[in-house]
A and B are shown apart, each in its own frame.
Chain A
Amino acid sequence: MQDRLNSLIDLLLPVFATLAALLVGAVMLLFLKVNPITAYSALWEGAFGSTNALAETLVKATPLLLVGVGICIAFRAGVINIGGEGQMVIGAILGTLIGLNLEGWPGWIVIFLALLGGFVGGAIWGGIPGLLKAYFNVNEILSTIMMNAIAVQMMNFLLRGPMIDPSQAELASKIPQTARLLEAFRLPRLVPTRLHLGAAIAVVLAILVYILLWRTTLGYRIRAVGQSPQAARYAGISVKRHIVLALLFSGAFAGLAGATQVFGVNYRMITDGSATGFTGSAGFNGIVAALFGQLHPIGTIPASILFGALLVGANKMQRVVQVPSALIIALNGLVVVFVVSSEIWRERRQRDRLRAAAIEGEADASGPSPAVDPEVGI
């Protein structure tokens, strides 16, 4: 009974943390002379208030989940991938090229090839920093960020020139966008909303990545390399190869997220000159979602939905109570801070509990009590 209660508290802790963050946000709203209750009910309404709102939340959560799942792989291998934005862009470009050039092919084949293209594009964009790190010792944080910049410029160039919508090319306005994808090439909708098949694909992939990391030898190797490169080397595991593989996979999932955005939501690529214009910062927010989900692919599912909800709900809140959009970003940040701190608290609680259990169950030390090292923090 006590145990049940404890694990329930642990499970709900991120929720409490989110509530605490919203409470601090409420104070900020009061300073802006806005009624927090009105604001937050608008946020809730916007995120979950109707089938449409819920669908919208899931649509926003989809790229976060895909990127986040990739981040789990990279971070577990001990490499930091900050290149989600660029990997999404490249994945989207490759997918779009396939979609635009295979007219006349059956829809499902094109969709499959385009998503595969996105996967491969992202893999290349993640793999390059991986190779640079493994073989030339180039810091992956710097190289992935730089790859973001390159990807954006490539997108801008392509959408203004070679890939521009032919009808735009003739106009004076020359909006940098591609032609629209054929109706048949769009990802099927799940319900009569904007919710598309990509969301389901993302959930399935999250489960597959969980299996990859904890049930396969490849995942075992990736985690070993992340935990102790020396021990991995000792065991005959190639550290270089697995660093490259981890970044490759990590990039691939981001690339898939990019292609999914094009084929499930926008049906074309369009640029405002920045990466965010296309990605909505999913390449960065996916990192936050993964961390929130404790770098566990399954944990990243609810984490992505939460952040998706915040993004969608915030829009509505902004419209209803007219607060600056910076507040929304601040709110997002608050949630992250509170969740991370609650995580530290949770570990401490767990430790105390194990200690107490050790006292009670001294006679039978057989129980599976994962020992915790009090010297190590999170």
Chain B
Amino acid sequence: MSDRNVLPSGQAKIDELEMVGIVKRFPGVLANDDIDFDVRAGEVHALLGENGAGKSTLMKILYGLYQADEGEILVSGERVEITNPTDAIAHGIGMIHQHFMLVETLTVAENVALGLKSTRGLLTDIEHVSERIDELARLYGLFVDPAAYIWQLSVGQQQRVEILKALYRGAALLILDEPTAVLTPQEVDDLFRIMRQMADDGHALIFISHKLHEVIEISQRVTVLRDGRKIGTKPTSETTKSDLGTWMVGREVSFRPIKSESEPGEVRLRLDNVSALSNRETPALKGVSLEVRSGEILGLAGVSGNGQRELAEVITGLCPVTGGSVFLEGEDVTDKSVAERTERMLSYIPEERMRDGMIRNFTVAENLILREHNKAPYARSGFLDLDQIAVHTGDLIQEYNVKTPSQETYVKSLSGGNIQKLVLARELSRQPRVIVAAQPTRGLDIGATEYVHQQLIRQRSSGAATLLISEDLDEILALSDRIAVIYEGEIMGTLDAHDATAEEIGLLMAGVRPDERSEAVG
């Protein structure tokens, strides 16, 4: 491979790709307003911006999923028409989406081959595909078993399959839309290693993330969008985290929320030796006990998939226990329904907001009443009070600063950050006594994250007992009063947030107990 214009995969490099004067309008929104953007072979170019700034839209235009209303795309100075993903792939452009597009019940090789012409006519040529996958995997250090089924793979491995799929199709330019949002810290390191190698080999990479430290770590240049407009492009080495934050939001942001000393009151949520099964019928919780008091935030740290989801669902009543009891304000609610627990002012910010927290084809107003639709002021003796609903929806949209064209807009066309604001508005405006917040800032920009944090702290001040489940250790450390660590369905330990260190928590997250540690040392 001595040819300087060829990538290890055998594909020609894209020396420079330019998007010039891109304009994209949606009903009531100007998603991209005259944006210039370019990326070169051998670099990672980060794209930053708040939720709804227009990052995904710009990338979907590049990948042919949307058509720009104005503007053009130039590959190495030549104008190209990209009207669908097939065109994009033909020009060497690949995209890893925010949500994976793999078929769970097929193998890695079958997924890669899906939609491609077989070299053997109507017969599949899986051996051929597998060989090529192995070859690419070796070249790029992307190790996956071509014969493994997708459902057997971790999220990080599935992402590698997506990357392989793009490389297999000859991607010289790779768009990664929030690839790290779903990864564990370890998996992020692996991904960055792969990305660095790809860039060194001459690929052009576009990287979208809300995590500023990741942008600083991996990118050579960074472009910031705000409200659909481009604010600017800079070499990453000339910026700092707080520069970028200010740039993105248009004001200074605090990375550490300010909060007063906690004044914990009575125990509001108690789990006593709770066990539960996952939806694959394997033990997910093994005798979990914990307490959350009024006016405190208990952070639950842990690598995802260690029982966090089941824990949240056991508390909210969505998942039955196989042993133990759940108490809300001293009352045993183990056998109570979701509705009965809601009555006791339990609020839940679910991890999968688009699946559990919102109904895509309902309007903003309809979604805001989801939890209390049968209570005053939204309903009276079985009838919805549309006037009252409109008034309260208007108030909540204002108070929580939700950007939506109208109350009648379908939720599916709002950006991720605004959808999360709707969930918060609904769950927090009812003055909850106990809050379960699962990954409340996943996929949110720093402005929105700051906002969510402020809201949770406000709830803490007004006496709510909050269980904060998060994979983001910084978030846990910034918000919690006490920190519990979960590993394989067990609580490894509970620490006081004052004297907890990231290292200590990290070890517990990896399943190493303090006593084992001292043994290892001594």
Q: Max chain B CB contacts within 10 Å: which of A217, A238, A354? A: A217
The answer to whether B406 and A368 touch across the interface, beta carbons within 8 angstroms, is: yes
The answer to whether A369 and B405 touch across the interface, beta carbons within 8 angstroms, is: yes
Question: B residues 340-388 with Cβ under 8 Å of A?
Answer: 340-342, 348, 350, 355-362, 366, 369-371, 373-374, 379, 382-384, 386
The answer for the CA separation of A114 and B373 in the assembled complex, in Å, is 36
Residues from chain B with a CB closer than 8 A to the CB of A372 are 27, 410, 413
Interface membership of A31, Cβ < 8 A? no
Interface membership of B409, Cβ < 8 A? yes
Interface membership of B28, Cβ < 8 A? yes
Interface membership of A218, Cβ < 8 A? yes
Residues from chain B with a CB closer than 8 A to the CB of A373 are 410, 412-413
The answer to whether A230 and B355 touch across the interface, beta carbons within 8 angstroms, is: yes
Interface membership of B337, Cβ < 8 A? yes
The answer for the CA separation of A295 and B466 in the assembled complex, in Å, is 43
The answer for the CA separation of A357 and B405 in the assembled complex, in Å, is 13
| Given A220-B366, A233-B318, A371-B405, A358 contacting B361 (CB threshold 8 A) | no
The answer for the CA separation of A118 and B317 in the assembled complex, in Å, is 39
Pick from A227, A230, A374: contact of B356, CB below 8 A: A230
Question: B residues 28-73 with Cβ under 8 Å of A?
Answer: 28-30, 65-66, 69
Interface membership of A236, Cβ < 8 A? yes
Interface membership of A231, Cβ < 8 A? yes
Interface membership of B338, Cβ < 8 A? yes
Residues from chain A with a CB closer than 8 A to the CB of B29 are 358, 365, 371
A209 to chain B, nearest CB (A): 14
The answer to whether A233 and B338 touch across the interface, beta carbons within 8 angstroms, is: yes
The answer to whether B359 and A228 touch across the interface, beta carbons within 8 angstroms, is: yes
B391 to chain A, nearest CB (A): 16
The answer to whether B370 and A235 touch across the interface, beta carbons within 8 angstroms, is: yes
Contact flags (1/0) for B2-29 with A, using CB distance below 8 Å?
0000000000000000000000011111
Residues from chain A with a CB closer than 8 A to the CB of B371 are 235-236
Residues from chain B with a CB closer than 8 A to the CB of A228 are 355, 359-360
A54 to chain B, nearest CB (A): 36
A342 to chain B, nearest CB (A): 22
A131 to chain B, nearest CB (A): 19
Q: Max chain B CB contacts within 10 Å: which of A217, A236, A354, A358? A: A236
Contact flags (1/0) for A222-253 with B, using CB distance below 8 Å?
01100110110111111000000000000000
Residues from chain B with a CB closer than 8 A to the CB of A238 are 337, 339
The answer to whether B359 and A236 touch across the interface, beta carbons within 8 angstroms, is: no
The answer to whether A236 and B337 touch across the interface, beta carbons within 8 angstroms, is: yes
Residues from chain A with a CB closer than 8 A to the CB of B338 are 233-236
The answer for the CA separation of A221 and B357 in the assembled complex, in Å, is 15
User: Can you name the residue of chain B whose Cβ is closest to the Cβ of A351?
Assistant: B27
Q: Max chain A CB contacts within 10 Å: which of B27, B30, B358, B371? A: B27
The answer to whether B382 and A216 touch across the interface, beta carbons within 8 angstroms, is: yes
Q: Max chain B CB contacts within 10 Å: which of A358, A362, A373? A: A358
Pick from A215, A227, A354, A357: contact of B384, CB below 8 A: A215
A249 to chain B, nearest CB (A): 15
The answer to whether A217 and B373 touch across the interface, beta carbons within 8 angstroms, is: yes
Interface membership of B408, Cβ < 8 A? yes
Question: A residues 338-378 with Cβ under 8 Å of B?
Answer: 354-355, 357-359, 362, 365-376
Residues from chain A with a CB closer than 8 A to the CB of B370 are 224, 231, 234-235
Residues from chain B with a CB closer than 8 A to the CB of A221 are 373
Pick from A217, A358, A369: contact of B382, CB below 8 A: A217
The answer to whether A220 and B358 touch across the interface, beta carbons within 8 angstroms, is: no
The answer for the CA separation of A231 and B370 in the assembled complex, in Å, is 9
Residues from chain B with a CB closer than 8 A to the CB of A375 are 65
The answer for the CA separation of A15 and B29 in the assembled complex, in Å, is 34
The answer for the CA separation of A362 and B33 in the assembled complex, in Å, is 11
User: Can you name the residue of chain A whose Cβ is closest to the Cβ of B384?
Assistant: A215
The answer to whether B359 and A227 touch across the interface, beta carbons within 8 angstroms, is: yes
User: Can you name the residue of chain A whose Cβ is closest to the Cβ of B31?
Assistant: A358
User: Can you name the residue of chain A whose Cβ is closest to the Cβ of B366?
Assistant: A220
A319 to chain B, nearest CB (A): 47
Residues from chain B with a CB closer than 8 A to the CB of A233 are 318, 338, 356
The answer for the CA separation of A350 and B357 in the assembled complex, in Å, is 29
Question: B residues 313-339 with Cβ under 8 Å of A?
Answer: 316-318, 337-339
Residues from chain A with a CB closer than 8 A to the CB of B342 are 235-236
The answer to whether A365 and B28 touch across the interface, beta carbons within 8 angstroms, is: yes
Pick from A234, A237, A362, A365: contact of B357, CB below 8 A: A234
Residues from chain A with a CB closer than 8 A to the CB of B374 are 217
Residues from chain A with a CB closer than 8 A to the CB of B362 are 223-224, 227
User: Can you name the residue of chain B whose Cβ is closest to the Cβ of A375?
Assistant: B65
Pick from A216, A235, A369: contact of B27, CB below 8 A: A369
A142 to chain B, nearest CB (A): 24
The answer to whether A358 and B413 touch across the interface, beta carbons within 8 angstroms, is: no
B148 to chain A, nearest CB (A): 28
The answer to whether A371 and B66 touch across the interface, beta carbons within 8 angstroms, is: no
The answer to whether B27 and A358 touch across the interface, beta carbons within 8 angstroms, is: yes
The answer to whether B357 and A231 touch across the interface, beta carbons within 8 angstroms, is: yes
The answer to whether A370 and B409 touch across the interface, beta carbons within 8 angstroms, is: yes
The answer for the CA separation of A230 and B350 in the assembled complex, in Å, is 11
User: Can you name the residue of chain B whose Cβ is closest to the Cβ of A218?
Assistant: B382
The answer to whether A234 and B348 touch across the interface, beta carbons within 8 angstroms, is: yes
Question: A residues 272-291 with Cβ under 8 Å of B?
Answer: none
Residues from chain A with a CB closer than 8 A to the CB of B348 are 234
The answer for the CA separation of A316 and B30 in the assembled complex, in Å, is 57
The answer to whether A216 and B28 touch across the interface, beta carbons within 8 angstroms, is: no
B135 to chain A, nearest CB (A): 34
The answer for the CA separation of A348 and B25 in the assembled complex, in Å, is 16
Residues from chain B with a CB closer than 8 A to the CB of A230 are 355-356
B263 to chain A, nearest CB (A): 31
The answer to whether B359 and A231 touch across the interface, beta carbons within 8 angstroms, is: yes
The answer for the CA separation of A367 and B404 in the assembled complex, in Å, is 11
| Given A233-B318, A235-B370, A371-B410, A224 contacting B359 (CB threshold 8 A) | yes
| Given A233-B318, A236-B338, A365-B405, A216 contacting B410 (CB threshold 8 A) | no
The answer for the CA separation of A228 and B355 in the assembled complex, in Å, is 8
Question: B residues 171-221 with Cβ under 8 Å of A?
Answer: none
The answer to whether B28 and A371 touch across the interface, beta carbons within 8 angstroms, is: yes
| CB-defined A-B contacts under 8 Å, sample of 11 | A216-B382, A220-B384, A227-B359, A227-B361, A355-B26, A355-B27, A359-B25, A366-B405, A369-B28, A371-B405, A376-B412
Kindly list the 6 A-B residue pairs having the minimum CB-CB distance in the complex, ordered from nearest: A236-B339, A371-B413, A236-B338, A354-B27, A368-B406, A217-B374
Residues in A lying within 8 Å of B, measured CB to CB: 214-218, 220-221, 223-224, 227-228, 230-231, 233-238, 354-355, 357-359, 362, 365-376
